[in-house]
Amino acid sequence: MGQLDNRIAIVTGAATGLGRGIAMLYAREGADVAVLDRNKAGAETVAAAIEQLGRRSIAIEVDVGDEDAVNAAMTAAMDRLGAPNILVNNAGIVTVSPMEGMETATWDDMMRINLKSVFLCTRAVLPAMRAKGYGRIINISSQIAHKGGFGMTHYAAAKAGVIGLTKSLAHEVTGDNIAVNAICPGPLDTDMKLPPDWAANKQNDLVIGRQGRVEEIAPTALLLATENAAFYVGTTFNPNGGDVMM
């Protein structure tokens, strides 16, 4: 018996990195998983791996910052798998740019992918979760939302917005048995790379002395996806190697 038997999950940014790790863990725990990503080939590889575990899956290429594309992707996921119990808003981008020289397009793209996408994807699944009377929404933020970082004003603002959205949405939907929480990972050893000098300086801030691993973060997303998460309301989890101690 898995912890997510008979559950249906949608995970964005699930072709690589933390999203892939969460999607695969959910499948191993019994969930059917929709794999959403702009990387079509990567999403298809993950979906195939999930199906090899005996679970249903679908790979959907989507730009999570585009309203029409998100609505179409969520409809396709629900048509294939059914109404979701779990949504993980993991898709994101990261760049480094001091504010004074930052292009407006760089700011706008960060907000579109890292914050607007959470709104669009969540809004699209809420009616189905409410109809089921059960839901788990897990939003991936960042420890940078708590402490900031050089050249990260746009990223920190977007990820702090995710925390604010999480807390406010919890007020709206907890009464419908929908738990909404956030995870703020520290730097992870994934395909999402930062400039080497920035990454090296950041590693020096970590009490643990190294970047995190996907398998150290994914179990937090598993906990928040289970029935045991009912008492977690608008909470932010901070597995970050000691970069921010809260």
Q: Which residues are catalytic?
A: 155
Q: How many CB atoms within 10 Å of residue 219?
A: 13
Cα 164 to Cα 158: distance, rounded to the nearest angstrom: 10
- Residue 140: exposed, middle, or buried by beta-carbon count in 10 A (0-12, 13-18, 19+)? buried
Instruction: Name, in order, each residue with C-beta under 8 angstroms of 84's C-beta and a sequence gap of 6 or more.
Output: 8, 9, 10, 34, 77, 78, 125, 128, 129, 135
Cα 11 to Cα 135: distance, rounded to the nearest angstrom: 14
The residue among 184, 175, 179, 158 whose CA lies nearest residue 239 is 184
3-state secondary structure (DSSP) of residue 139 = strand
